[in-house]
Amino acid sequence: MSRIASRRRTDGPPTVADGALAIREVDSEALLAALPHPIMVIDANNHITFANAAAEAFFSMGEAVLKRARISDVVAFGCPLLGLIEHIHQTGSTVNEYGIEIATPRFSQPKLIDVYGGPMPDDPSLMFIMIQQRNMAQMIERQLTHRAAARSVSGMAGVLAHEIKNPLSGIRGAAQLLEPGLSDDDRTLTQLICTETDRIRNLVDRMEVFGDERPIAKEAVNIHDVLHHVRKISESGFGRNLRHVEDYDPSLPFVLGNRDKLVQAFLNLVKNAAEAIGERREHGRIVLTTAFRPGVRLVVPGSDTRVSLPLMIQIEDNGGGIPEHIKAHLFDPFVTTKVSGTGLGLALVAKIISDHGGIIECDSEPKRTIFRVLLPMQDRSRNFASKQA
C-alpha cells in the first residue's frame, strides 16, 4: 500500500482514481477466497483450475483434490450444471440460472442452487462459476408463507361458517318443502338445488378446519406406523395399481404429534402423488422415505429460538410434475391444477405440519416430484420428567 500512498495527492482527500488504483493492487485470488459463495474457474477441457474456500466447503473436497478433477467427476451424471457449462463453452456468453438441483456422492441429498457463470475476460478459454445455495433460505421463506396462508384461511373460514351455512340450510329446507307438490320435471330442479347446497356445505365444512386454532393433542407417534397405515389405504384404494416403495431409517425417534392429523396430512400427499401419476400407472411409483437430518435448524418466527427439525419424511412420485407457474403458490389456498379440485388439500397439509412445529417444501421436475416434511422429534427429557412427576 506504500506505493499507492506515494501516488496520492498530498493536498486533499483520496480521489476516485486513488481508490481504483488501490483495488488493482489487491491480490485477486485472496479476494475470491474471501467471498462467501463457492467460486471455481474451469478450463476448456472442464478441468477445475481454481476453487475458493467456500467451494471446498460446499463440495466437501480440498482444493488440491478439486484441481485434479474435471467438473463431471465432482457432480452427478446428468447434473444441470454440466449443461450450463457446456452452454458457456459453446456460446461464450454469461448465464444466470436460478433454482437448479445439484447432487454429488458426498451430498446426503440434492441441493438447490443459483448459478452465475461466464468466460474470463482475459482468457475466454477459462470460465468462472459462482454458486449460491438457496434451500435453507427457501425453507424459512416457505415456513413463513405457509403459516401466513393458513392464518388467512382461518379468518375466512370463520366468516363463511356463520354467514353461509345457515342460509344454505334455509334454501335446502325450502326446496324440500316444495318438492312433494311438483311435477317430475320440476322435482328434478329441487333435487338439483339440494345437491348443490350439500356440495357447498361440504366445501365450507372443509374450510372450517382452518378456523380451528385450538392446540392439538400430542403424544409420542411412530412416524413409520403412520406411513404404513397410509400405504395400506393407498394400496387398497386410489393407488391400487401403483408400486409403493419404502425406504425407512429404522432408528428414527418418535414424533411428538397427533397421529390422526399426521395420517390425514400424509394421506393427502400420497393421494396427490397417485393423481399426478395418472395414466402412467403401469410404470407409476410412489416412494416413501424417512431419514434423520440433525443439521437442520430454523429460527422460530417472533423469537430468537432455533428449533431443530431432524426428522425428514419424503413422498416422491414419477408423475408429470408441477407446472412452473404455480410452484411458488403451491401451498396457498384455492391453488390447484385439478379440474374438480378445491385447492384446499395442500393448504390443509401445510397447516397440520405447521401445527406440529414443522415445515413442508416441494421440489418438482418432470417425472420426479418430492414433497419433503421436516419435523421436530419428541423431547425425551421432557417426556421422562413428566413420567417421573
- Listed residue (320, 349, 318) closest to 244, CA to CA: 318
The SS3 assignment for 168 reads helix
pLDDT of residue 192: 85
Residue 389 has a pLDDT of: 42
In this structure, what C-alpha cell is assigned to residue 183? 311435477
- Check residue 222 and give its pLDDT: 94
Give the pLDDT score at 21. Answer: 47
Going from N- to C-terminal start, the domains of the chain cover 35-133, 138-211, 219-385
Per-residue pLDDT in tens (0 to 9) along the chain, 389 residues: 333 333 344 445 555 455 444 445 456 667 777 778 889 999 999 999 988 888 888 888 888 888 888 998 888 877 888 888 888 888 888 887 777 778 777 776 677 788 888 998 888 889 989 988 765 545 555 555 555 555 555 556 666 666 777 788 888 888 888 888 888 888 888 888 888 888 777 777 666 655 556 677 889 999 999 999 999 999 988 888 899 999 999 989 999 899 988 998 999 999 999 988 876 667 889 999 999 877 566 655 444 555 677 899 999 999 888 887 777 777 776 666 655 555 567 888 888 888 888 888 888 888 889 999 988 887 654 443 334 44
pLDDT at residue number 7: 38
Contact 376, 311 (CB under 8 A): yes
Which pLDDT does position 135 carry in this prediction? 53
Residue the block writes with cell 482514481: 17
Per the CATH hierarchy, to which homologous superfamily does domain 35-133 belong? PAS domain (3.30.450.20)
| Fold category of 219-385 in CATH | Heat Shock Protein 90 (3.30.565)
CA distance 290 to 118: 39
Residue-level pLDDT at 265: 92
* Nearest 10 degrees: Cα torsion 142, 328, 161, 206: -90
In this structure, the number of other CB atoms found within 10 A of the CB of residue 325 comes to 8
Predicted local distance difference test score (pLDDT) of residue 316 = 94
